Structure 1
Amino acid sequence: MDKRDDEASTGDPALNVERRSMFALGLAGAALGGIAAGGLALPAPAVAQAAARSKLHVVKERGKLIVGTGSTNPPWHFQDASGKLVGMDIDLARLLAKSLFDDPEKVEFVLQGSDARIPSLITDKVDIVVQWMTVTPGRAQQVEFTIPYYREGVGLMLLARGAKYKNFEELKAAGSAVTIGGMLNVFLEEWVHKALPQAKVDAFESPDAAMQALNARRIDASMQDQSAMRWLMQQAPGRFVDAGYGWMPNSYASAVKLGDPIWLNWVNTVYKEAMMGVDFDTFAASYKKWFGIDLPTPKVGFPQEFA
């Protein structure tokens, strides 16, 4: 789960210095009060033109969208057997490009680690980050989030056949007899014990190692992000099951640079109409492909989001 993988980056002194410098420049400009050389105020049309210069106009003039994303985290962003970049985040980025240029291929992907998401926006290396980014109040001080497109959480994966426990209720009833595996993390025991207070916890160097331990029946269940669980269950039908309980919810959204409401509003319009309107079929197909989820068709009539 991304929720805490780079929380420390939001407090990076270098980023804070950069942001303070940016604010200082902005305040200096405001202090000048629009005074040009010779003490003359800038004409009102020039001020309006500068204020209207949005990332939306920059991207349209450039002719392609530049997106920050990753390449190693299925089902969000990863390379398929042919080496092509695919995943839910990639589908969303291509939908943005299609909505801009009527061509989903007019997008350039900048592959980056999770710790580069905020810096790449601040420095204008990318136009938008579409990279399973958890919405947090700390990050929202440095970037602007779009409306969420997924609600993540953690869950417990069991073997479908021959497992000692069949579901979450049986795991909880077994108390300290249960061993739950998960990726090594300082929060691992805390997270597991939120759902199973008495369970033993076994830490592994990677989610893959935890799944290997589950396959070998060295643990009773593997704690995974729910999106990863859905992906794994699709890749190996009939081998794994969801224990039926999820917890620790967090929202995934895209992020743009602060201070550009025109660009943010446009991206939000695309996402909203993908979830509720003209591009629903495209969005629903992605959900089905990557998560195995059949989204209900939005009701016709009064918009339900305002009901």
Structure 2
Amino acid sequence: MDERKDEAGLVRRGFFGLSAVGAAAGAGLGLMAPAGATAQTLGKSRLQMIKERGRLLVGTGSTNPPWHFEDANGQLQGMDIDLARLLAKNLFDDPTKVEFVLQGSDARIPSLITDKVDIVVQWMTVTAGRAQQVEFTIPYYREGVSLLLLARGGKYKSFDELKSAGNTVTIGGMQNVFLEEWVRKALPQAKVDAFESPDATLQALNARRVDAYLADQSAARWLMQQTPGRFIDSGYGWMPNSYASAVKPGDPVWLNWVNTVYKEAMMGVDFDYFAASYKKWFGIELPTPKVGFPTEFA
């Protein structure tokens, strides 16, 4: 279990060891001053600057599947990478015209503020504190936690069975001072066993030393995709948080353009691309948007 403070000094949870946010950004970052934001809107939009440059600079990571990681050939892939390439495709009609700037989670806000990147696409949780320093796009994923169970040979097959078992159930998770609190939000009577790594926790589940593994839902879905028939989700999730991309404040033209691309990927012309990514990385079949009145305004 990994738990640290994020760029805004807020506690962020990362259950599977694949979703933990980095340390505080450091002194001197501060909040974006309204005067600076206003000044940027009076000049050239970043959208125009990117078009003139001929490539998109994207801040992201490389070690956290299914969001951003390297394949066997050292090529970046994952949901965040797919979204970045979608932006490049809509900018240049070429998904390869993107330069990935690899960074830790703690560098996400500083890299935007110092103009090292045009946008951060890096499993960034939307918080009110961060929204004082960056501007978020519309969310593209709702994260949460769930319980991973053994598909075969496990004692329990659903969340209801785990809850009914009361204090005879043991839940495993990565070591964290908040682990018991998080587990007991859903299972008040459960026993909790902490482990030093995701691998150790999975080994305990496979060896049936624990009955379930507390994991980020995206990580659990990715694991089920990679090992079909080995694990199942308990069917219950909690502690939701939204993932979105972030841009430097003060440029509504750039923010609106990115939001337009994301929205039409979810609801319009690029839906097939977006749906294929959801299926590949999370095993989720997205329903085709209904033709007629836009349901997002219903």
Q: Is the structural similarity TM-score above 0.5?
A: yes
Separation of aligned partners in 1, 2:36 and 2:77: 39
Matched, 1:185 2:183: no
Look up the equivalent residue of 1:117 and give its one-letter code: R
TM-score, length basis structure 2 = 0.90
Partner of 2:154: 163
Larger displacement relative to structure 2 (84-93 or 158-167): 158-167
Question: 2:112, 2:119 within 8 Å by CA — same for their partners in 1?
Answer: yes
Of 268-277 and 78-87, the range deviating more from structure 2? 78-87
SS in 1 for 2:8: helix
Match of 1:272 in 2: 263
Higher helix share: 1
Q: Which of 197, 209, 212 is equivalent to 2:203?
A: 212
Tell me whether 1:51 sits opposite 2:42 in the alignment: yes
Sequence identity, in percent?
A: 78
Amino acid at match of 1:149: Y
1:9-20 → structure 2 map (5 Å cutoff): 9-11=7-9, 14-15=26-27, 17-19=28-30
CA–CA separation in structure 1 for the residues paired with 2:26 and 2:152:
51
1:286-297 equivalences under 5 Å are 286-297=277-288
- Asked if 1:90 corresponds to 2:81, the answer is yes
The alpha-carbon distance between structure 1 residues 166 and 232, as it changes in their structure 2 partners (threshold 3 A), is same
- Structure 2 counterpart SS, 1:10: coil
Residue identity in the other structure for 2:269: V
1:178 and 1:85 map into 2 onto residues whose CA distance is: 39
The code of the aligned residue for 1:141 comes to Q
Matches for 1:131-150 after TM superposition, within 5 Å = 131-150=122-141
The answer as to whether partners of 1:6 and 1:115 remain within 8 angstroms in 2 is: no
- For residue 274 of structure 1, report the CA deviation from its aligned partner: 0.3
Report the Cα distance in structure 2 between the residues aligned to 1:116 and 1:165, rounded to whole angstroms: 41
In the other structure, the counterpart of 1:6 is 5
3-state SS in 2 of match to 1:147? coil
User: How big is the shift at 1:203?
Assistant: 1.1
Secondary structure of 2:209 counterpart: coil
1:23 aligns with 2:33: yes
**Number of residues paired by the alignment?**
284
**Corresponding letter in the other structure for 1:62:** R
How much does 1:80 deviate? 1.0
Change (3 A) 1:144 1:26: closer
Match for residue 95 of structure 2 among 104, 111, 129 = 104
- Name the CA distance, whole Å, in 2 between partners of 1:153 and 1:291: 13
Please provide the CA RMSD for this pair.
2.1
Determine the C-alpha separation between the residues in 2 that align with 1:26 and 1:69: 25
Q: Kindly provide the amino acid, as one letter, of the partner of residue 86 in structure 2.
A: L
Q: Supply the distance in 1 between the matched residues of 2:58 and 2:127 (Cα, whole angstroms).
A: 21
Structure 1 Cα separation of the partners of residues 206 and 169 of structure 2: 16
- Report how far residue 50 of structure 1 moved: 7.4
Q: CA deviation at 1:278?
A: 0.5
Of the candidates 288, 294, 304, which is equivalent to residue 295 of structure 2? 304
Q: TM-score, normalised by structure 1?
A: 0.88
Shift in Å at residue 208 of structure 1?
2.1
**Separation (CA, whole Å) in 1 of partners of 2:122 and 2:172:** 26
Contact 1:158 1:242 in 2 (8 A): yes
